[in-house]
Amino acid sequence: MVSIIGAGITHFGRHLERTIVSLALEATALALKDTGLAKERIGACYFANTLGPLLFSDTTIGQNLTAAAGLNKISVVNVENACASGSSAFHLARNAILAGDCEIALVVGAEKMCVPDFGLLNSGATELDTQLGMVVPAGFALRAQRHMYEYGTTVEQMAQVTVKSRQHAALNPFAQFRQLESLEQVLSGPVIADPLTRSQCCPIADGAAALILASDEVATHFERSVQVRSSVLASGSFEEPCDLTHWDTDYRTVQLAYEKAGIGPEDLDLVECHDAFTIAEIIHYEALGLCDKGQGGALVESGATTLGGRIPVNVSGGLLSRGHPIAATGVAQIVELVTQLRHEAGKRQVEGCQLALAHCMGGDKAGDTKACTVSVLAR
Between 190 and 352, name the residue whose CB sits nearer to another protein. Answer: 190
Nearest one of 274, 244, 338, 335 to 10, comparing CA atoms: 335
Residue 145 sits in the site that holds another protein (CB under 8 A): yes
How far is residue 278's CA from residue 271's CA, in Å, rounded to a whole number?
15
Q: Which among 164, 64, 181, 167 has a CA at the least distance from the CA of 112?
A: 64
- Residues that bind another protein (rule: CB under 8 A) add up to a total of 32
User: Is 125 an interacting residue with respect to another protein (CB under 8 A)?
Assistant: yes
| Residue from 16, 38, 99, 132 binding another protein (CB under 8 A) | 132
Task: Rule CB under 8 A: choose which of 70, 100, 116, 133 binds another protein.
Answer: 133
Q: Single out the residue of 140, 87, 137 nearest to residue 359, CA to CA.
A: 87
By the rule CB under 8 A, 124 interacts with another protein: no
x/- track of binding to another protein for residues 187-226 (CB under 8 A): ---xxxxx--------------------------------
Query: Which of these ranges, 12-20, 32-40, 145-153, 158-166, lies near another protein under the rule CB under 8 A?
Result: 145-153
Among residues 61, 70, 63, 67, the alpha carbon closest in space to that of 41 is found at 70
CA end-to-end distance (rounded Å), the chain: 13
Residues 154-193 that bind another protein (CB under 8 A): 190-193
Sheet of 270-272, strands arranged across:
75-79, 44-48, 104-111, 207-215, 2-9, 226-235, 368-378, 355-365, 270-272
Contacts with 312 (C-beta within 8 Å, 6 or more apart), sequence order: 269, 270, 271, 305, 306, 350
Query: What DSSP assignment string belongs to 297-340?
Result: HHHHHHTTTSTTSSS-B-TT-HHHHH---HHHHHHHHHHHHHHH
Per annotation, catalytic residue among 202, 324, 360, 372? 324
Among 143, 168, 284, 342, binds another protein (CB under 8 A): 143
Q: How many helices (H) and strands (E) does the chain have?
A: 14, 11
Among 37, 138, 279, 326, contact with another protein (rule: CB under 8 A):
138
Q: Output 183 or 242, the one with its CB closest to another protein.
A: 242
Question: Residue 242 CB, nearest distance to another protein (Å)?
Answer: 6
Set 83, 114, 291, 360: catalytic member: 83
Q: In angstroms, what is the minimal distance from the CB of 116 to another protein?
A: 13
Q: How far is the CB of 88 from another protein (least distance, A)?
A: 23
Annotation marks residue 83 as catalytic:
yes
Point out which residues bind another protein (CB under 8 A). Answer: 119-120, 122, 125, 128-135, 137-138, 141-146, 149, 190-194, 238, 240-242, 244, 367
